[in-house]
């Protein structure tokens, strides 16, 4: 099979995307496929027409990759691709819209507001989490403790987004659950060594401990919620749902990733390995 792996792109997650893309490219080549890596640039459309791939593996994180735009282009060109379509990608990329849909379906998520440039920030509950509505990998994540810190955090984020989310900080434990081909994977508890699971904690070796959850009842609840979220947002093939579980054991969905990372530190392949699915098998399942 001739497979194009799209990687890099224009988002703040470019470097992570390149790492994901290279890992996928290597696996495809070792599986015997004709795999070609392409960056997202102005010549992409012409290159795709020239190559005529049987399928595209989208390894682009963040805007232009996870938000439905590249999916729309591939639909227009009539090229099949791995992962969610335009609608699911766009819905899941915008954290504000995601949370509205989750609330409609009765899925617990922290209380929040969204604000755009020039708007007042009507928020007075602290600590609070401030983050861009349309970025991944915890890019631009702040935990603030008062209105001054809140204002400063929001102001900083206008460099990378047009909409900011402010939400309740849930004191508790970080969890994540992957979904592969409509089946929930084993939940993983995330234990950052400095308390906040930010960009540095995610992508620096040794800064975070990952432990598979042994609490059976909580595991089943998280898996059930992950599948519910996956279906509510009309996702396809794969996703990863991030949770915060409070001190009473109540899970809250924080966000959804439609193109989970596939680096050596990534959680999605880690969960697959726990289930006996190695990296090459993941790729084979996704491109079939």
The tokens describing 45, both together, are 């459309």
Q: What is the pLDDT of residue 136?
A: 67
257 is catalytic: yes
Instruction: Tell whether the model's pLDDT for residue 201 goes beyond 80.
Output: no
Catalytic residue, from 14, 173, 240, 244: name it. 240
Instruction: Tell whether the model's pLDDT for residue 116 goes beyond 90.
Output: yes
Give the domain ranges of the chain: 2-82, 91-108+171-287, 112-168
94 is catalytic: no
Cα torsion 96, 161, 20, 42: sign:
positive
195 is catalytic: no
Q: What is the pLDDT of residue 193?
A: 78
Fold for 112-168, please state it: Dna Ligase; domain 1 (3.30.1490)
Catalytic residue, from 203, 221, 237, 244: name it. 203
**Which residue carries 């792109």 as its tokens?**
9
The tokens describing 14, both together, are 């470019």
What average pLDDT score do residues 116-134 get? 94
Instruction: Tell whether the model's pLDDT for residue 158 goes beyond 60.
Output: yes
203 is catalytic: yes
Q: Which of the given ranges, 61-70, 187-196, 216-225, has the highest pLDDT on average?
A: 216-225
What average pLDDT score do residues 98-112 get? 98
What are the pLDDT digits (tens) for 127-153?
999 999 987 656 789 999 999 999 999
Catalytic residue, from 11, 242, 244, 266: name it. 242
Listed in sequence order, the DSSP H helices in the chain are: 14-30, 44-51, 69-77, 86-93, 95-104, 147-157, 199-203, 216-232, 267-274, 279-287
Catalytic residue, from 64, 68, 255, 266: name it. 255
197 is catalytic: no
What average pLDDT score do residues 42-70 get? 95
Q: What is the pLDDT of residue 25?
A: 97
Catalytic residue, from 8, 9, 11, 13: name it. 13
Task: Please state, in angstroms and rounded to a whole number, the distance separating the CA atoms of residues 156 and 117.
Answer: 11
Burial 79-89 (b: 16+ CB within 10 A, else e): bebbbbbbebb
137 is catalytic: yes
How does residue 4 score in pLDDT terms, banded at 50, 70 and 90? very high
Catalytic residue, from 84, 137, 201, 239: name it. 137
The DSSP 8-state label assigned to residue 164 in this structure reads E
Task: Specify which residues 244 forms β-bridges with.
Answer: 174, 252
The pTM of this model reads 0.92
Task: Specify which residues 177 forms β-bridges with.
Answer: 241
Q: What is the DSSP string of 176-213?
A: EEEEETTEEPPPEEEEETTSS--HHHHHSTTSEEEEE-
Q: What is the pLDDT of residue 105?
A: 97
What is the layout of strands, in order, in the sheet containing 128-132? 112-116, 163-168, 128-132, 142-144
Which CATH number is 2-82 given?
3.40.50.20
Instruction: Tell whether the model's pLDDT for residue 198 goes beyond 70.
Output: no
Q: What is the pLDDT of residue 265?
A: 75
Q: What is the pLDDT of residue 40?
A: 92
How does residue 36 score in pLDDT terms, banded at 50, 70 and 90? very high
- Of 168-172, 194-198, 274-278, the one with minimum mean pLDDT is 194-198
Q: Is the peptide bond before 116 cis (omega within 30 degrees of 0)?
A: no
User: For a pLDDT cut of 70, what percent of the chain falls above it?
Assistant: 95
What average pLDDT score do residues 70-86 get? 98
Q: What is the architecture, at CATH level 2, of domain 91-108+171-287?
A: 2-Layer Sandwich (3.30)
The set of residues, in sequence order, having a beta carbon less than 8 Å from that of 201 and lying 6+ positions away, is: 138, 192, 193, 194, 207, 208
Instruction: Tell whether the model's pLDDT for residue 206 goes beyond 80.
Output: no
Catalytic residue, from 84, 239, 257, 266: name it. 257
Instruction: Tell whether the model's pLDDT for residue 214 goes beyond 90.
Output: yes
How does residue 166 score in pLDDT terms, banded at 50, 70 and 90? very high
What average pLDDT score do residues 13-29 get? 94
39 is catalytic: no
How does residue 165 score in pLDDT terms, banded at 50, 70 and 90? very high
Q: What's the mean pLDDT when you consider all of the chain? A: 93
Q: What is the pLDDT of residue 12?
A: 79
């Amino acid at each position: 099979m001739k497979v194009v792996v799209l990687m890099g792109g224009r988002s703040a997650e470019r470097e992570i995307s390149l790492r994901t893309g290279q890992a996928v490219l290597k696996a495809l080549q070792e599986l015997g496929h004709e795999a070609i890596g392409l960056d997202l640039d102005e010549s992409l459309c012409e290159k795709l027409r020239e190559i005529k791939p049987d399928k595209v593996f989208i390894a682009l994180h963040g805007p232009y990759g996870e938000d439905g735009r590249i999916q729309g282009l591939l639909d227009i060109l009539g090229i099949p691709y791995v992962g969610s379509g335009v609608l699911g990608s766009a819905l899941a990329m915008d954290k504000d819209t995601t949370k509205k849909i989750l609330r409609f379906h009765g899925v617990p998520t922290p209380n929040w507001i969204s604000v755009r440039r020039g708007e007042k920030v009507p928020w007075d509950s602290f600590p609070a989490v401030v983050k861009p509505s349309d970025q991944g990998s915890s890019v631009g994540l702040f935990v603030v403790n008062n209105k001054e810190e809140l204002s400063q955090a929001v102001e900083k984020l206008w460099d990378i987004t047009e909409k900011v989310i402010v939400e309740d900080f849930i004191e508790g434990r970080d969890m994540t659950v992957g979904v592969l081909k409509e089946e929930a994977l084993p939940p993983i508890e995330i234990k950052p060594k400095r308390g906040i699971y930010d960009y540095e904690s995610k992508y620096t070796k040794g800064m975070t401990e990952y432990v598979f959850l042994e609490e059976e009842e909580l595991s089943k609840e998280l898996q059930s919620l992950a599948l519910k979220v996956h279906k509510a947002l009309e996702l396809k093939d794969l996703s990863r749902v991030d949770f915060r579980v409070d001190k009473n054991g109540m899970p809250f969905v924080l966000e959804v990733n439609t193109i989970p990372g596939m680096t050596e530190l990534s959680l999605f392949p880690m969960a697959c390995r726990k289930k006996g699915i190695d990296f090459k098998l993941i790729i084979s399942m996704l491109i079939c």
